[in-house]
């Protein structure tokens, strides 16, 4: 039985002060949640966030990291740096990073390997654009991403990996894939990973849905057989909304 994960990705929102105020209220609302609860604040808030969440069931994740341990990479953070402040999860390959910051399947693959080498659990984002969907290429696009992103990982890696299926056309648009459609695509992802690795690992891997998840959509999504949780953007910015999602 896979344990659900509800993760909030704040993207480029909230200061360290706002982060601490949020966590101080949020931690009490979600203390009895069945799901694993993860918050992904901006990098500058991570240290304060880890401190504010200490001793609670709220885990703090980074939104990105570099694949090298150190070096001349201005503006970047390394896996070692994240580890040193108590980070256990990192989002890798979010579509906004692929679209605006030249993230490629090759760099995603290097980052996944670096995360596992450093004992950080990656949350790998995959998904298709509207144009790819409308031209019937969703499965081909996902298959290509999975093959390249997961190349060289081990079955043990895959068991702990978290994948977030985020159709790009559903991110921040208020359009969600229907729960049934998202579930079918997530099943496709699981089957593909079983082909690339093995069934046992694919069955253990958690696959989340992301794209305009709201308090009124989460229940239907979580009733699906293969949706193991949500990666929530906009609706994770308000304590009340995200608490309702976590406590679906």
Ligand X SMILES: O=C[C@H](O)COP(=O)(O)O
The residues binding ligand X (CB under 6 A) are: 9, 94, 166, 171-172, 210-213, 231-235
Residue 28 among known ligand-binding residues: no
Residue 167 CB, shortest distance to ligand X, in Å, is 10
Nearer to ligand X, 79 or 211 (CB): 211
> Which one from 36, 94, 96, 128 is the annotated catalytic residue?
94
Asked about 25 being catalytic, the answer comes back as no
Least distance CB 246 / ligand X (angstroms): 14
Check whether 212 is labelled as a binding-site residue.
yes
Alpha helices (runs of H) in the chain, residue ranges in sequence order: 16-29, 46-53, 79-84, 95-100, 105-117, 130-134, 138-149, 155-160, 179-196, 199-204, 218-222, 239-246
119 annotated to a ligand binding site: no
Cβ contact 102:68 at 8 Å: no
Backbone conformation region of residue 238, classed left if phi is above 0, alpha if psi is from -120 to 50, else beta: beta
Q: CB-wise, 94 or 133, nearer to ligand X?
A: 94
Minimum Å gap between C-beta 70 and ligand X is 28
229 is in an annotated binding site: no
Task: Give the 3-state secondary structure of residue 40.
Answer: strand
166 is catalytic: yes
Residue 60: other Cβ atoms inside 10 A: 26
Count of C-beta atoms within a 10 Å radius of residue 219: 12
53 or 91: CB nearest ligand X: 91
Q: Which residues contact 199 (CB under 8 A, 6 or more apart)?
A: none
Q: Which residues are annotated as a binding site for substrate?
A: 9-11, 172, 212, 233-234
Active site positions, annotated: 94, 166
Annotated binding site: 9-11, 172, 212, 233-234
């Amino acid at each position: 039985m896979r344990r659900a994960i509800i993760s909030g990705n704040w993207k480029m929102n909230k200061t360290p002060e706002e982060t601490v105020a949020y966590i101080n209220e949020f931690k009490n609302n979600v203390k009895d949640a069945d799901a694993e609860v993860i918050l992904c604040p901006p990098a500058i808030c991570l240290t304060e966030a880890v401190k504010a969440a200490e001793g609670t069931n709220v885990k703090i994740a980074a939104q990105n990291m570099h694949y090298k341990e150190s070096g001349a990479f201005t503006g970047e953070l390394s896996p070692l740096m994240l580890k040193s402040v108590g980070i256990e999860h990192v989002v890798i390959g979010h579509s906004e990073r692929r679209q605006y910051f030249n993230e490629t399947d090759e760099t995603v693959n290097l980052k996944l390997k670096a995360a596992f080498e450093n004992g950080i659990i990656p949350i790998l984002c995959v998904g298709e654009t509207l144009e790819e969907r409308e031209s019937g290429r969703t499965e081909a696009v996902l298959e290509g991403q999975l093959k390249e992103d997961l190349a060289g990982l081990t079955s043990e890696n895959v068991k702990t990996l978290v994948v977030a299926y985020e159709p790009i056309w559903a991110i921040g648009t208020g359009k969600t894939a229907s729960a049934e459609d998202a579930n079918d695509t997530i099943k496709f992802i699981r089957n593909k990973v079983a082909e690339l690795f093995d069934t046992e690992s694919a069955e253990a891997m958690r696959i989340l849905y992301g794209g305009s998840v709201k308090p009124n959509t989460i229940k239907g999504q979580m009733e699906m057989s293969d949706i193991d949780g949500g990666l929530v953007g906009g609706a994770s910015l308000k304590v009340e909304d995200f608490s309702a999602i976590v406590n679906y």
